């Protein structure tokens, strides 16, 4: 891996895509066309400071879990509740119970192969390369 600059360049560009930096480009362009480049850059920085990346990753994890659950168990039917949007206080234990299967368990399932790869992986010994290869997966584990 040492001295293989084209491979390192490809890994850096792959990491930029995985982190969503290039995926944010259409949003930047849309805001830039409407309100200008400085405003677009400021909006993207503010969104990153508000941890929107973490929120949308968590939201996507929730949606994919329930979508997969519906596909596997066949619970696709409309249920009328008639309640609308109601905000209520929820204890931590209830939140943990609700999200443990869809988020925490899947995070642990992703963490185990990453740890095994860190210990036994022999594809490269360069720590920067390993970090570039596994950074997006560690981000999924954290969210």
88 and 141 part of one domain = yes
pTM: 0.48
- Residue span of the structural domain in which 13 resides: 1-50
**Residue 116 pLDDT > 80:** yes
pLDDT tens column, 50-79 = 887 778 777 777 777 777 777 777 766 666
The string of DSSP codes covering 113-141 is HHHHHHHH--S---HHHHHHHHHHHHHHH
> What is the reported pLDDT for 18?
63
Give the Cα-Cα-Cα angle 50, 51, 53 (nearest 5 degrees): 135
Tokens 């850096």 appear where?
12
121 and 62 part of one domain = yes
Tokens 């642990």 appear where?
108
| Mean pLDDT on 10-35 | 73
84 and 32 part of one domain = no
């Amino acid at each position: 891996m040492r001295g293989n600059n084209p491979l390192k360049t490809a890994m850096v560009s792959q990491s930029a895509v995985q982190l969503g930096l290039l995926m944010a480009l259409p949003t930047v362009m849309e805001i830039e066309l409407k309100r200008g480049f400085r405003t677009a850059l400021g909006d993207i920085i503010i969104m990153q400071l508000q941890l929107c990346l973490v929120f949308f990753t968590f939201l996507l994890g929730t949606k994919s879990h329930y979508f997969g659950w519906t596909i596997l168990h066949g619970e696709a039917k409309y249920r009328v509740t008639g309640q609308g949007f109601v905000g209520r206080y929820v204890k931590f234990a209830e939140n943990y119970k609700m999200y443990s299967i869809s988020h925490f368990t899947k995070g642990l399932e992703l963490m185990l192969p990453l740890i095994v790869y860190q210990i036994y992986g022999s594809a490269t010994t360069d720590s920067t390369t390993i970090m570039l290869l596994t950074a997006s997966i560690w981000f999924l584990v954290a969210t």
